[in-house]
Amino acid sequence: MRSELAASIEEQGGTATQEFHELGIGLRAHVPVVRHGTRRFEVVRFVGCDGPGWLLRGVLTGAAVNNLQAALELERIFLDTVVVRGTVDLRPRDQLLLTPSQHTD
């Protein structure tokens, strides 16, 4: 999945490199965006983990790209996510329904 994502970014004129962090191997990318008619590049981080029949992918933007504290907060949310795959048959790349936990502290 990382190589496909990197290839897609590069086809659009961006760049993507692998990076290693607490969540495993991810991508740091310069992604082309158009805002108010101007094309520019934004730095984003793609993180992910997978299990049997699922892949959880996250995109970190803004302060979480270069600020360690902001990144750690978002990475903690990602690490605390529980995937309950269920038994529904899905094709590869079909999205699973996300349901927020009803748990409160």
Q: What is the pLDDT of residue 104?
A: 60
Give residue 34's identity as a one-letter amino acid code: V
Question: From first to last of its 105 residues, what are the pLDDT tens digits of the chain?
Answer: 889 999 999 999 999 999 987 778 899 999 999 889 999 999 999 998 888 888 888 899 999 898 888 888 888 888 888 888 878 888 877 888 777 777 665
Domain ranges of the chain: 2-79
pLDDT score of 103: 65
SS3 36: coil
Note the pTM of the prediction, 2 decimals. Answer: 0.80
List all residues 6 or more positions away from 53 whose beta carbon is below 8 Å from its beta carbon.
85, 90
β-pair type (24-35, 15-21): antiparallel
